[in-house]
Structure 1
Amino acid sequence: MKVTLERTDLLKSLTHVHRVVERRNTIPILSNVLLRADGGQLLLKATDLDLEISEKVAALVEQPGATTVPAHMIYDIVRKLPEGAQVALETSSDNATLEIRAGRSRFALQMLPETDFPDITAGEFTHRFTLASRELRSLIDATQFAISTEETRYYLNGIYMHSVATDGGDRLRAVATDGHRLARAEIPAPNGSVGMPGIIVPRKTVGEIQKLLEAPDAEAAIEISETKIRITTGDVILTSKLIDGTFPDYGRVIPQNNDKEMLVERDEFKAAVDRVSTISSERGRAVKLAISEGRMILTVVNPDSGSATEELAIDYDSDPLEIGFNSRYLLEITGQLRGDTACFRLADAGAPTLIQDKGVEDALYVLMPMRV
């Protein structure tokens, strides 16, 4: 194999693919990135057996061929090469090393054969549809923070995506929950998504999708089966296994009869929660909201260091109520709201609270209270 290409193009592709590779691997080939040169292009591919990312980049191919080299090593080498450099990649005559040349720099990396590199892309995809990158990104951004990190409840370690029929038409919905909070976002269902199987996209895959959707005007082609998802955007193809489990019936968690409505200026509320929670400890993040007609008093008490209170004006005309929440969860949810006014629908101090932008139905959040 002998190929030459721009350092900028090679670095961009390596940035996309090398992140998949775990730093510590018991299987040597999984530490490597596959390089395949053919027909004026260089293909780069990396996998951890659950997730695979590949990308093609334009290159001058003098001799076609393929090999694999350590992913993080070649990424670090190319990253440190001078901008504007032309990078030449050539396998040695004894097929033991890949030589990397740029200007006066020379490197030789140990290779493993291409035939050892695993392929997880096989299989049929039953549903195909296209989304604007910003739409897919909006679904992920609105729900990703609520993904559970508790490995024993593995079926919560991702975002649940499915299509639903509503009074307003078919919708593509994303849901995530960790048992303490729930996030649900939806967009009009694109052509081809109706009837798709409900899928759970793993946390690591969600993070990689976010990083690939950098250009808001780009489009993402999505293919889905019951066990895999494949997303193509530009020259990048991401293929991932799905979580094999049943997502819980989240509809039962969303309160339907919370009759106490509180409206508060979103930025003011977020800043107030942030200020009073400064006094809280790592173990106790509770902030108490004392809600009465026209005003709310936020209180945090830390037995080890002191207390903090702040008063806010609100729109509320129901019975007075005191309720406690995890301050970090409150900040994460209010950080996802897009409007000027946050709407809280409450029942009592022990019942889950519904939070959303005033007048917006596309995204909603459910937060379990804490004892304070």
Structure 2
Amino acid sequence: MKFVISRDLILPSLQQIVSVIEKRQTMPILSNVLLWADESSLVMTGTDTEIQIVSKVYCESIENPGVITVPARKFLDICRLLPGGAELKFELHEDKVKLASGRSRFSLSTLPAEHYPEFNESEYEYRFALNAGKFKKGLDKTLFCMANQDVRYYLNGLLLHVSNSKMKLVASDGHRLAIFEDDIGFATGYESRIIIPRKAVQELNRLLDDPEAELDVQFSANHIKVQFKDVVFSSKLIDAKFPDFSKVFNQSFMTPLLIQKQVLRDALTRVAILSNEKYKGVTFDIGGDVLKLSTHNPEHDEAEEELIIDYHGQTLSISFNSQYMLDAVSNLDSELAVLTIAGNASSCFIEEPEQPLFKFIVMPMRL
């Protein structure tokens, strides 16, 4: 196996792959990247057995095709620290890979490719094409609401619900919920729901760096595969049913409250400085055209701030986790934020005034 490749050509693909590979592995070969060179391209594969990323780089300077695995992070660091525009010579000698660039020489240990674990994917039943920018926007607006290591394992991921020409992304940690809805662009002719695991969602979001590109998404009950330019991303799915959140819409609501997004965000950030470090609670006192934000902590520190709002409903006092509210408000694109509290004060909807693609729901807390 022998080839010459530009450092600038191999580095982006290598970076895409290495982030999937866990630093601590039970199997040594999982710390390696699989390199497969044929006559015209170099295909690199990284996996942690739950997620797999395959990236293809076109390379015309392949003298001897072949396949081998090399330590992923060491290989990445060597390529990363070479000067821009450098040529990298790669040559396999028995169980060692010799790397040369300019006056630099490296020798890496290898492991045989036949021991590299195969990513067993099921037959894909569903398929649709989607603009990468649209999908990334949906991920950006929802993934921060995913749970992390929750015992309700179905919350440690993101619901993807395809209903004919509509796509819905939903994430919740039990205290808050984010929903993003948009058109796919054509009729798929089917309805299906899957839960993509937390790490896979984060990796996929990181990969989608070109908003103009087209995604080819395929999935079954157990796996999802996303093809994006010269990258193929595959992941196992969470085998569970996402809780039915539709009931939260089927209730009476109080009068909506309109407020400048940036004003609310800044005030919340200031008041939250003196909130309880563990619970981060801030009380919202709503009445007339004034919203009063107040908080206190076990050290008897207190903060309050009054904001002018557009509100014509009943007076109300309700408390929220300030970080949850900040996350929701920060993800709005409009200048105005609309806050709508449920009639029984069980939840607060945060959305944009006109035709919102996304909604955020935050549950109140007792202070």
Q: TM-score range by the shorter chain?
A: over 0.9
1:339 equivalent among 334, 340, 348: 334
- Map Cα deviations across residues 82-120 of structure 1 (whole Å, 9 max, x no partner): 11110111110xx21111111111111111111111221
Contact 2:348 2:363 in 1 (8 A): yes
The alignment's C-alpha RMSD in Å is 1.5
State the Cα distance separating 1:196 from its structure 2 match.
4.3
C-alpha change, 1:32 and 1:238, in structure 2 (3 Å) is same
Aligned equivalent of 1:229: 224
Alignment of 1:1-372 (within 5 A): 1-59=1-59, 60-92=61-93, 95-120=94-119, 122-164=121-163, 170-191=165-186, 193-254=188-249, 256-304=251-299, 306-347=301-342, 350-372=345-367
Q: Which runs of 5+ in 1 are unaligned?
A: none
Return the alpha-carbon distance in structure 2 between the equivalents of residues 292 and 132 of structure 1.
Answer: 44
**1:254 and 1:354 in contact (8 A); partners too:** no
Deviates more, 1:77-86 or 1:123-132: 123-132
SS for the counterpart of 1:272 is helix
- Deviation at 1:121? 5.1
| CA distance, structure 2, for counterparts of residue 53 and residue 333 of structure 1 | 31
> Does the Cα contact within 8 Å between 2:251 and 2:343 map onto a contact in 1?
no
Contact preservation (8 Å) 2:34, 2:67: yes
**Using a 3 Å threshold, how does the CA distance of structure 1 residues 241 and 192 change in structure 2: closer, same or farther?**
farther
The runs of at least 4 aligned residues of structure 1 exceeding 4 Å deviation read none
Is the CA contact 1:264–1:343 (under 8 Å) kept in the aligned structure 2?
A: yes
Residue range with higher mean Cα deviation, 344-353 or 153-162: 344-353
SS at match of 1:253: helix
2: distance between equivalents of 1:256 and 1:65? 63
Which stretches in structure 2 are left out of the alignment for 5+ residues? none
Whole-angstrom distance in 2 between the partners of 1:212 and 1:331: 26
Q: 1:294-327: per-residue Cα shift (whole Å, max 9, x none)?
A: 1101001123151111111101111100010000
Report if aligned partners of 1:255, 1:352 keep a CA contact under 8 Å in 2: no
Residues 99, 254 of structure 1: alpha-carbon distance in 2 compared, 3 angstrom cutoff: farther
Alignment size in residue pairs = 366
Give, as a single letter, the amino acid of the residue that structure 1 aligns with 2:68.
Answer: T
The one-letter code sitting in structure 1 at the alignment partner of 2:67 is A
TM-score normalised according to structure 2 size? 0.96
Quote how far apart the aligned CAs of 1:233 are.
0.9
Q: Aligned partners of 2:24 and 2:200: how far apart in 1?
A: 18
Query: What secondary structure is seen at the aligned counterpart in 1 of 2:365?
Result: coil
Return the offset for 1:280.
1.9
How far residue 192 of structure 1 moved from its aligned partner, in angstroms, is 5.8
